[in-house]
Structure 1
């Protein structure tokens, strides 16, 4: 069966996407680079885990517990938790030190474990208690909108909220967009022109680094490792 993934958009300005998955008959997956952080809850053989995962700057091959159920809240770029230093979460994760059947620890406090269906209720609680904050300017500049601030001020705010530079975010998101287009049947040459790559070798290097697949592999459905969540966005303006 492999990995079954369902995902939905959210009406919360703090959340980019909510997803859930179940695995069967698969032991590894390719985790695609992402510029977002996320809260992940997973259960395997009766044991529940909760982890805060930071952005991933390269594609990696990751173990997948067979028969596990997972759920995740993908945060918007401007959302952050002041008690966590985002730079330390890049290519890393922080697992809750204690998880019971109904609660886990975040910022030294116990919180009810959220679900796929009540994610926004959980997010609202975090916001009310100051655990989760949002810098709207970060969401705007990452999307390509002009900001009434100098470049250094913008970069500091983007780095504080995401742990990444604007350039790194653009590269990751562009590679993810390229992967989606190729899986839909768009030719590599058209992807190069549409997304602003220099040439096809430039596209190939980007795909290998951030997606862990070649253009040919993305068009095939028989690759041995499934991909992590890959979804459509409004896209980034500019390159």
Structure 2
């Protein structure tokens, strides 16, 4: 549920092997659309937001389909910080498969701290997200299976059996390799369409069989057709989009 609004979001990649991206959204005086369309995504994230004087923190799992959220008039008064984790990184006491299409909120938060797995943690900022992540790693809460990222990048040079690979990908991400690639392909297609690329060129660029295949994928993972995605609506914004290292071609 990452916010992506012109002038209202700042995002950056990370060189941490655990972190895919860090973002923050502070709407301020920006005109906020009535709705946000959250596209399917294959990464989990830690999200912290403050609205009307209250701070909330939640671990959000991968989302296998689109959701539409009403953005209340108070959104412009708050701000959001999110840490999106790389494929293969996961909280060892909180299995990712149980987080798919759901979220787990911190049982207690303040303006500067929150509870995670029974321990109090200082709430990270946009600039020190990697410091916070390193603390999780040192505490043994955040672990990483590097094979997962390698496989999803298309590296097949492994001595592990295909069945073991499938099991490890599912354990670390909550999704199958096929589901991850389908989601990432659709997200890349949305970015290319947003850049003005013709649908037939998108098909060739990201590896769809044909335009009907593209259409089915977009409907499933975004809830929109190619034409609807091209025609930006002033009352709806899309969730954060960025290119990952996942190899989307079969």
- State the alpha-carbon separation in 1 of the partners of residues 146 and 184 from structure 2: 19
- State the alpha-carbon separation in 2 of the partners of residues 42 and 223 from structure 1: 24
1:232 positional shift? 2.3
Question: CA offsets, 1:9-28, max 9 Å, x none?
Answer: 00100000001113453342
Equivalent position of 1:211 in the other structure: 222
Unaligned residue ranges in structure 1 (runs of 5+): none
- State the alpha-carbon separation in 1 of the partners of residues 101 and 244 from structure 2: 22
User: TM-score, normalized by length of structure 1?
Assistant: 0.95
Cα RMSD (Å): 1.5
Q: Name which of 61, 82, 100 aligns with 2:68.
A: 61
From the superposition, tell whether residues 141 and 200 of structure 1 become closer, same or farther in structure 2 (CA, over 3 Å): same
* 1:167 and 2:178 aligned: yes
* 1:228 and 2:235 aligned: no
- State the alpha-carbon separation in 2 of the partners of residues 179 and 190 from structure 1: 12
* 1:238 and 2:249 aligned: yes
How many residues in Structure 1 have an aligned counterpart in Structure 2?
238
SS of match in other structure, 2:104: strand
SS of match in other structure, 2:236: coil
- State the alpha-carbon separation in 1 of the partners of residues 175 and 245 from structure 2: 20
Equivalent position of 1:70 in the other structure: 80
Unaligned residue ranges in structure 2 (runs of 5+): none
Question: CA offsets, 1:13-59, max 9 Å, x none?
Answer: 00000011134533420001100000000010110000000000001
Q: Name which of 97, 110, 118 aligns with 2:107.
A: 97
Question: CA offsets, 1:83-131, max 9 Å, x none?
Answer: 0021110000000000012110111100000111110000010000001
